[in-house]
Chain A
Amino acid sequence: MALLEVQNLEIAVSAKGKLLPVVQSVSFSVDDNETLGIVGESGCGKSLTALAIMGLLGGTTVRITGGSIRFDGMDLLTLSERERRSIMGNQMAMIFQEPMTSLNPVYRIGDQIIENIRQHQKMTKAQARDRVVELLSLVRIPNPSERVDSFPHQMSGGQRQRVMIAMALSCDPKLLIADEPTTALDVTVQKEVLDLMADLQTRMGTAIILISHDLGVISETSNKVAVMYRGRVAEAAETESLFLELAHPYTRGLLNSMPVVDSDVDWLEAIPGRVPTLEEELTGCAFHPRCASATELCLTTVPKETEFKHGHSVQCHFPGKVAP
């Protein structure tokens, strides 16, 4: 059994007395030493899936309405709040999309990491502080013994994201969830942060879920990929077999809309149309309004998940028969 197993996860947003489904029958698994990339356009439910796994949906209008999340042999959705909290920041940690605002502006960064450590481990303040300095140098913050006393506003976005990584790693988590950790950062800094995470994984064997809307980032860093479209996993496979043969029209569209550095083409074939909003009720395949291969069947019937190749699943009526 894998470290994390998400099965048929259903998430809904309650609005005006109605439950609007945002994530529907999403399943995937991640194991130690493995990176799962989740990719998809804005609003397709990547962050909500991550927050559901982490246990951070409390206090919002978002509810988990079905499915199971098993982590390290535990059924997370049946644990008490207290048991859940003992996992958060400890065996499972998360870095967020917004490095500039994810740290509390009134506390020194060192104290914020110390808080995480001492929440889960018996350590004196001084011991925890030594550990923080160690962590800061691990994430390559220069002068860690001085920077430990900095306030967040004294650091750049890239440095703050490193601090977030250091905090996430402070209790040696088994699973690290990184929700678009580099989207808000400069291109050069993006690469450094991604390299850092890959490096730390090699050293510590952490399982990573890397969320991105950039297929390029995913292809370089992940062992497995799950492509999400409007709350569903459209296509999932090992990275290599996915890129060998893109079976879902949406994945194909995503790849085509990626800039290719050394090509003469200076235009991008973006996917026409937009992601339908939650309020729009759609029959059949949610992608059909934008799909070039759509038929009558696609308009009426939701495609089932089918095994396209071994370990390569697709939710499409015509997997692999992608219009050129």
Chain B
Amino acid sequence: MLAYTAKRLLTLIPTLLAASILVFLFVHLIPGDPAAILLGDTATPEEVAQLSSEMGFDHPLYIQYFIWLSNVLKGDLGTSIFFGEPVLSVIGSGAETSILLASMTMIWIILIGLPIGILSATKHGTWIDQMTSSGAMLAASIPTFWLGLYLIMIFSVTLGWFPSSGFPSLSDHGGITNLRYLLLPSLTLAAPNTALIIRLVRASMLDVSREDHVRTARAKGLHPTRVAIKHIFRNALIAVAAAFGFTFAALISEAVVTETVFSLPGIGRLVVQSILRRDYPVIQGVILVIVVLYMVINLAVDLAYARLDPRVSLK
């Protein structure tokens, strides 16, 4: 397991380097003087000239890349044009909201998706299965922004049960109860992905239930529930874990929409606003963070996969 982890970490390095080159080139693909772009419209010619020499913009591209990379490795992602603050701290201010939103969403996906998927598979062919399957189909096909607006209309505007927008930090007044601000957004974000997991769990469990070893398990005289969980679901989890990495990619783009609809001060909304403000350093920083995060998650998924399937790590 340790060797496998080390091997996977090593294969991460070239991917990260390639990704960093793409992110670096982002600013250079925009027409115009990169220093002027990074500083925004209000910068004076002196400031532009100063940044140009700091970043080595008069040097060849590969030298610029190394200057940029060494800055990034030191935690210096540049300065936000709009806020005038380091990009890293701008991103950091949105991190709490986004991390809490992502965690709550994951909890919904697991708490709702797995049990319903298992139920759907064990009752397959019955009306329970048909109901959950069409429910999942519906949830998967509703656009995120529409579901978000719909929930706001019902639960915030009409019923007044939940706030419709914003999120005060957990350290603000209200403390942990501030999580109620994230309830509707996280449900919105969870809906299509939960549907995906339900269908995935159901399909993989039906696949596994036809395997010979399940017959062996039943021949032991085990209770059907035990067979369903310990033998069918446990083995189906291998395929489900493999697909979880893809779910995460979908989650990121849907989070941008959800945070915007619910006006949450998260990283997703930061991206949208930064694009509107042409705050290129922030856009570049966020992309870098997302790329790294995506790779870390996929590494975690791979490691989970190896743990779930003893045939993997020993190859």
List A residues at the B interface (Cβ < 8 Å). Answer: 54, 56, 58-59, 84-90, 93-94, 96, 98, 101-106, 112, 115-116, 119-120, 151, 153-154, 164, 167
Contact = CB atoms under 8 A, between A and B. Distances in A.
Nearest to A51: B215
A102 B212 contact: yes
A119 B311 contact: no
A90 B213 contact: no
Given A105-B310, A106-B310, A151-B310, A98 B212 contact: yes
Contacts of B209: 59
Contacts of A58: 218
A94 B220 CA distance: 9
Contact of B219 (A59, A88, A104, A120): A88
Contacts of B234: 106
Nearest to A82: B223
Interface residues of B, number: 22
Contacts of B220: 88-89, 115-116, 119, 167
B222 A115 contact: yes
A104 B213 contact: yes
B219 A54 contact: yes
B2 to A, nearest CB: 18
Interface of B: 209, 211-213, 215-223, 231, 234-235, 238, 308-311, 314
B235 A105 contact: yes
Query: What are the 7 A-B residue pairs with the smallest beta carbon separation, nearest first?
Result: A88-B221, A89-B220, A85-B221, A101-B212, A89-B221, A104-B213, A116-B220
Given A88-B219, A89-B219, A96-B212, 10 more contacts: A56-B219, A85-B221, A86-B221, A94-B219, A103-B216, A104-B231, A105-B235, A105-B310, A106-B308, A115-B220
Given A104-B231, A151-B311, A119 B212 contact: no
6 contacts: A85-B222, A103-B216, A105-B213, A120-B221, A154-B314, A167-B220
A151 to B, nearest CB: 5
Contacts of A93: 219
B233 to A, nearest CB: 11
A84 B219 CA distance: 10
B234 to A, nearest CB: 6
Contacts of A84: 221
B209 to A, nearest CB: 8
Contacts of B309: 105-106
Nearest to B215: A56
Given A56-B215, A164-B216, A105 B221 contact: no
Contacts of A102: 212-213, 215-216
Contacts of B218: 56, 58, 88
Nearest to B218: A56
Contacts of B219: 54, 56, 88-89, 93-94
A56 B227 CA distance: 13
A101 B231 CA distance: 13
A90 B215 contact: no
Contacts of A90: 221
A151 B216 CA distance: 16
